[in-house]
Amino acid sequence: MSKKKKNKKRNLEVPKNPDQRKIMRLYPQRVNLRKSLAPTYYPVAHHIYYDGASFRVRVRVDGKTISLNTPDKRKAVKFRDRQLKKVGRV
């Protein structure tokens, strides 16, 4: 005995009176598109992330974050190691 819900789309009529056209239920808020278009970075190694096309290195040196995007993983690892040597973490 399961009841099926019927999803009826109601067509909302736009009022003829221009003062009533700014009713929020007539114009639902748009979903933020920026979030879905932003690249997703997957961690590869310490301080190195991959987004499907390029590698991103993010290292904090003296309170400043230094980042580099490169298509080559070898360059990313060398850049990370060079930056960490400056700080003395390697």
What does the pLDDT read at residue 19? 62
Q: What is the dihedral of CA 58, 59, 64, 66, to 10 degrees?
A: -50
Using DSSP's 3-state secondary structure scheme, residue 79 falls into helix
pLDDT on residue 14: 61
pLDDT higher than threshold 60 for residue 36: no
Look at residues 79, 34, 41, 39 and name the one whose alpha carbon lies nearest to residue 61. 79
Domain ranges of the chain: 39-90
pLDDT digits (tens, 9 = 90+) for 11-33: 666 656 656 655 555 555 666 55
* pLDDT above 80 for 68: yes
Cα distance between residue 80 and residue 71, in whole Å: 14
Total number of residues shown for the chain:
90
C-alpha to C-alpha distance for 72 and 8, rounded to whole angstroms: 52
